[in-house]
Amino acid sequence: EPEVTQTPSHQVTQMGQEVILRCVPISNHLYFYWYRQILGQKVEFLVSFYNNEISEKSEIFDDQFSVERPDGSNFTLKIRSTKLEDSAMYFCASSEVVTGELFFGEGSRLTVL
């Protein structure tokens, strides 16, 4: 069964460092998303991406964040200068159609020290 894959599964970084989280969405999907879940809190929408551009983003997704689809398969989330409060589980998801079911990856745990 096709699945969304994410790397790394866990990354530890120092505050102020840049981090890139990688995702390989399901191949025939057109919509890509990043969500995050801070420990003990709800899953929060960060950004959605369609046709090589951001279609929606939340208030959380400020100038420190960027997304890119550098080739036909990868979808990346970059955090330019990490803060302690960026520590969370970051989930990538993809879907075939808008408002269709989202397929989530297993998540990348980011720990900022």
**Contacts with other proteins, residue ranges (CB under 8 A):** 4, 31-33, 35, 41-50, 55-56, 58, 91, 93, 95, 98-99, 101-107
For residue 95 the two structure tokens come to 């879907």
Closer by beta carbon to other proteins, 14 or else 59: 59
Min separation Cβ 26 and other proteins, Å? 12
Closer by beta carbon to other proteins, 50 or else 65: 50
CA distance 14 to 112: 6
Instruction: For residue 76, give every residue at least 6 positions away whose Cβ sits within 8 Å of its Cβ, in sequence order, or none.
Output: 20, 21, 22, 23, 67, 68, 69, 70
